[in-house]
Structure 1
Amino acid sequence: MVFISKRSSRLLLSVFTAIGFGLSISAWIMKPAPTPPPNIVLFFMDDLGYGDLSCTGALDYTTPNLDRMAAEGTRFTNFLAAQAVCSASRAALLTGCYPNRLGISGALGPNSPIGLNPNEETLADLLKEKGYATGMFGKWHLGDNKQFLPLQQGFDEYYGVPYSHDMWPLHPAQAQANYPALRWIDGNEPKQEIKNLDDASQITGTITERAVSFIRNHKKKPFFLYVPHPLPHVPLAASPKFKGKSARGIFGDVLTELDWSVGQILGELKQQGLDKNTLVIFISDNGPWLNYGDHAGSSGGFREGKGTSFEGGHRVPCLVRWPGVVPAGRVCNKLLTTMDILPTVVKLCGARLPKQQIDGVDWITLLKGDNTVTPRDHFYYYYRKNSLEAVRQGDWKLVFPHPGRTYEGFLPGQGGKPGPSTETHEFPAGLYDLRRDPGERYDVREQHPELVAKLEKLAEEARADLGDDLQKRTGANVREPGRVSK
């Protein structure tokens, strides 16, 4: 047995205390700093088709910055716009809702009496509440009255155009339309007029400059940068630096400049040391406006295009990059939509979900590389004011009889003028297996009556919830758009 004196005991206690204190200090010093919330950069192209990037099959021009983004991140090949038309698609992106739930449809014109209801909580609202700087540079198109503009919808800064830049007196197909002058909007205030194609050729460069400046000005706090480019929607215009540079004509020139824009913004993130803590998403609002011919993009072989409920209208490119978080060089074929951006981003950033019902789903686990999960089970193809034209579950799509737009059988236009199309073509019902028939050419209803019954039941759930103009039904859970104050 070993006896230790009181003096020795006190000495040992002091030694052990010092060691413990030193270890705790060492652990405190070595403890990594908490990871700051990620910055978010969201690109939203206009009328860019699934086949309009060189990494998705484009010919006669290249998109090296976007191809690099795909190589350094994940390309989602089964990503759908919520509706195949401008204002509706944008409402869905910013709110996480089917646009018809919000009372938004079509493409709102100048002086629209309605807009996105300020009572809706946008992605910008939710991130701003969490301390993010929020900036938007590009096309709004959710109501041009001041009460609907971006500064009233959660954005700290806005510079862009209030609606599509073909809604002006020089519209090639509606020359007599009584459109007002198209002006840039700075915050809430109209600024210089975009008078002609020379002025329009500065759109992409101006938006890029503003976006880069926003990153520089807010590099010390988390930010949400929304860049909804107005192009390649017609009328096409490229700056002198890019005009005539591609073998694809003006459309290729415009895509080359848009790719440059993405490269400038990605480069600025790296320059400011923000590259590894920034989630970058690149998507489009809908498919190509095919009757514009050589001034339109490519649906990548999917059926039809913008303004239809076929895959060419809804299927859009989706590239996601976040070094060290989103797997590089990966292709994911799981079903996702623009509505799913909001719940995913707010969860990543530690923000809350909107208080009212939304339709988006969180796909963070899939985003980070777990292909065993399937976040989205089904999708409703609504169009016009509130017409349910198709439903999808997994890879099966049931199209209902409906009148609609078709480009098939019409010679496309040339030189910026549209060719004919019809809005009243009668589409028959059809069941399509998108695994083997992504072009929706072979109706297999007779072979799979049990699937037809299952999808019709899903459609009935949609009609009860959101309504269906084709059946003259009102949904139980639709909300009112914002209306211009008298």
Structure 2
Amino acid sequence: MNRIIMEKSTVIRLLSFVLFLIGVTAFCQKKGSAAKSTPNVIIIYADDLGYGDLSCYGATKIKTPNIDKLAAQGVRMTNAHATAATCTPSRYSLMTGQYPWRKQGTGILPGDAALIIPTDKLTLPLLFKKAGYTTGIVGKWHLGIGDSVEKNWNQELKPGPNEVGFDYSFIFPATADRVPTVFVENGKVLGAEASDPIMVSYNKQIGNDPIGATHPELLKMKASLNHGHDGTIVNGIGRIGFMSGGTKARWTDEEVPLTFLEKAKLFMEQNKNQPFFLYYSVTEPHVPRMPSTAFRGKSELGYRGDAILQLDWSVGEVMKQLKYLGIEKNTIIVFSSDNGPVLDDGYQDEAVSKQNGHNPWGALRGGKYSAFEAGTRVPLIINWPTQIKPKISDALVSQVDFIASFNQLLGMNIKNDEFLDSQNMWEAFIGESNFGREVLIKQGGAYSVIKGNWKYIKAQKGDSFWPLQNIETGTSELPQLYDLRKDIGEINNLASQFPEKVKELEKFLNEKLDIKK
């Protein structure tokens, strides 16, 4: 009897122990799953960086070791695209998950534009915020501020980034070559004084500040002809538009990237104990290229090359900061660019004269502003230590897909009608699938669509070449059809050989574009 009781007791203890192990395992798996689903996310978004500007994408005249390290340890995508060949529409798509042609007024914005991001719809930062993240933007914005063009720059500026999902914002309003040349932190211009009010106009000259058109002797960087960079001179550089006042609020070009980097590092440090999303929107290598002293002359490719070296250094500094804070293993870094490259975009900065065999577009045709591949095919690297394996992927993906993909990662299950054109490409982004989009619509010098290996560029009137920028726009009165699988450089127009394919893609594109009418 005692033996039977002892045996039963032993069995009960064993069962209890097994149940305990099962419970502990389930708990650990749950915790591990939760940790995996709430990584920090940093998007580093370069400005006018080309497909061939990085050594990990084939550049031989310039070395980018920090970005190369990101790529070597993550997924480097070779068929990734912005939705447009210019900055504002690309950034609109990234923020909203919608093609920019669905909304009027999403072209390149002046510095005094009103906000074009809806405040009552889902945005990328709002998605993270709903998932419990602290969200921040540091860097270039260029999506408008306020309800109208007319605004008081000396008072709080809203709506802006903070009203579309960012808990913290430290930005400049548009681009470095446009006024106002000021920092705006959480809706307030830093350094603004009531006794020196800021005024901005894109219609006429205001105030007494000298302008580049009449005082070229004051310029430390000469403007190229007919690019429009002959407005108010700030820091020895002529800008687009006119500005008066805000003398103490105006930033110095050489310090802008360093200021943005320090603000980004501070945001990471302040939020290291909770999941955060940081949109780090750097300025390099957009004009005016005025690299800090430490990088000037280092690339032997003029100021544009120096700016790329500075960009690579800042990426390395972000990586160091994450390691210092002990959060590098649970942080996803996404690196990309808003559109393709351009050499002469308004200033004589030796980007052309010191090109020295460097091809910012790599094997692609076109560049910024162009319907050809170099206008929208951009570097895209996704790095997540311990969670994704190194890989080179040719899956067709777009930045418009970020919302749907992070929606999947975060388990938010928000319906797709909140981000109409965004598709869940998460498995492709992290290298677990070789399959990406079936179709992608893009806009540059003309509208185009990629479907499978075929690319169709819609026929339309316009200049086929812009001599000022030395860029083929891709615009033609004849339809263009390219087999990107065999002809990534878009050399052979196959439209006459495959008329049925042209009709198919033309019909598809016309039906889609009718949505905007």
Q: Please give the TM-score of this superposition, normalised by the length of structure 2.
A: 0.79
Distance (Å, rounded) in 1 between the aligned partners of 2:172 and 2:491: 39
Distance (Å, rounded) in 2 between the aligned partners of 1:266 and 1:404: 44
Contact persistence 1:290–1:306 (CA under 8 A): no
Distance (Å, rounded) in 2 between the aligned partners of 1:132 and 1:221: 7
Distance (Å, rounded) in 2 between the aligned partners of 1:369 and 1:88: 27
**Change in CA separation of 1:431 and 1:420 when aligned onto 2, cut-off 3 Å:** closer
Distance (Å, rounded) in 1 between the aligned partners of 2:93 and 2:430: 23
Alignment of 1:159-170 (within 5 A): 159-168=170-179
Contact persistence 2:112–2:145 (CA under 8 A): yes
The CA deviation string for residues 204-262 of structure 1, in whole angstroms up to 9 with x for no partner, is 11111111111111111111111111221100011122122222121121111110111
Alpha-carbon offset, residue 143 of structure 1: 0.7
The CA deviation string for residues 113-154 of structure 1, in whole angstroms up to 9 with x for no partner, is 452121221111011011001111001111122334111110
Matched residue, 1:111 = 112
**Change in CA separation of 1:426 and 1:461 when aligned onto 2, cut-off 3 Å:** closer
RMSD: 2.5
Amino acid at match of 1:309: A
Structure 2 counterpart of 1:24, from 15, 19, 23? 19
**Partner SS, residue 509 of structure 2:** helix
Matched residue, 2:488 = 438
With 286-295 and 306-315 compared, the bigger mean Cα shift is at 286-295
The CA deviation string for residues 410-430 of structure 1, in whole angstroms up to 9 with x for no partner, is 3xxxxxxx6577989655321
Structure 1 counterpart of 2:168, from 157, 168, 178? 157
**Change in CA separation of 1:368 and 1:424 when aligned onto 2, cut-off 3 Å:** closer
Structure 2 counterpart of 1:274, from 292, 302, 327? 327
Contact persistence 1:84–1:383 (CA under 8 A): yes
Alignment of 1:201-216 (within 5 A): 201-216=254-269
Find out whether 1:57 has 2:58 as its counterpart: yes
Find out whether 1:336 has 2:397 as its counterpart: yes
**Partner SS, residue 320 of structure 1:** strand
Distance (Å, rounded) in 2 between the aligned partners of 1:424 and 1:383: 8
Contact persistence 2:96–2:419 (CA under 8 A): no
Find out whether 1:402 has 2:460 as its counterpart: yes
Alpha-carbon offset, residue 407 of structure 1: 4.3
Distance (Å, rounded) in 1 between the aligned partners of 2:290 and 2:401: 32
Amino acid at match of 1:212: K
Structure 2 counterpart of 1:228, from 271, 281, 297? 281
**Change in CA separation of 1:404 and 1:264 when aligned onto 2, cut-off 3 Å:** farther
**Partner SS, residue 34 of structure 1:** helix
The CA deviation string for residues 386-427 of structure 1, in whole angstroms up to 9 with x for no partner, is xx622221111111222345546x3xxxxxxx6577989655
Amino acid at match of 2:342: W
Distance (Å, rounded) in 1 between the aligned partners of 2:106 and 2:369: 11
Amino acid at match of 1:394: G
With 216-225 and 51-60 compared, the bigger mean Cα shift is at 51-60
Structure 1 counterpart of 2:378, from 313, 316, 340? 316
Distance (Å, rounded) in 1 between the aligned partners of 2:84 and 2:430: 26
Matched residue, 1:346 = 407
Distance (Å, rounded) in 2 between the aligned partners of 1:404 and 1:148: 36
Matched residue, 2:511 = 461
The CA deviation string for residues 178-212 of structure 1, in whole angstroms up to 9 with x for no partner, is xxx32101111011489426811111111111111
- Number of positions where the alignment pairs a residue of Structure 1 with one of Structure 2: 437
Q: Please give the TM-score of this superposition, normalised by the length of structure 1.
A: 0.83
Contact persistence 1:165–1:230 (CA under 8 A): yes
Matched residue, 1:34 = 32
Structure 2 counterpart of 1:306, from 368, 374, 378? 368
Alpha-carbon offset, residue 313 of structure 1: 0.8
With 141-150 and 294-303 compared, the bigger mean Cα shift is at 294-303
Contact persistence 2:301–2:351 (CA under 8 A): no
**Partner SS, residue 319 of structure 1:** strand
Matched residue, 1:295 = 351
**Partner SS, residue 139 of structure 2:** strand
Structure 2 counterpart of 1:15, from 10, 32, 44? 10
Distance (Å, rounded) in 1 between the aligned partners of 2:470 and 2:505: 34
Distance (Å, rounded) in 2 between the aligned partners of 1:272 and 1:441: 49
Q: Name the % identity.
A: 32
**Change in CA separation of 1:19 and 1:87 when aligned onto 2, cut-off 3 Å:** same
**Change in CA separation of 1:362 and 1:183 when aligned onto 2, cut-off 3 Å:** same
Structure 2 counterpart of 1:450, from 489, 500, 514? 500
Matched residue, 1:93 = 94
**Change in CA separation of 1:67 and 1:289 when aligned onto 2, cut-off 3 Å:** same
Find out whether 1:380 has 2:441 as its counterpart: yes
Find out whether 1:369 has 2:422 as its counterpart: no
Alpha-carbon offset, residue 299 of structure 1: 1.6
Alpha-carbon offset, residue 29 of structure 1: 4.3
**Change in CA separation of 1:421 and 1:272 when aligned onto 2, cut-off 3 Å:** closer
**Partner SS, residue 445 of structure 1:** coil
**Change in CA separation of 1:281 and 1:245 when aligned onto 2, cut-off 3 Å:** same
Alpha-carbon offset, residue 86 of structure 1: 1.3
Distance (Å, rounded) in 1 between the aligned partners of 2:398 and 2:95: 12
Contact persistence 1:138–1:161 (CA under 8 A): yes
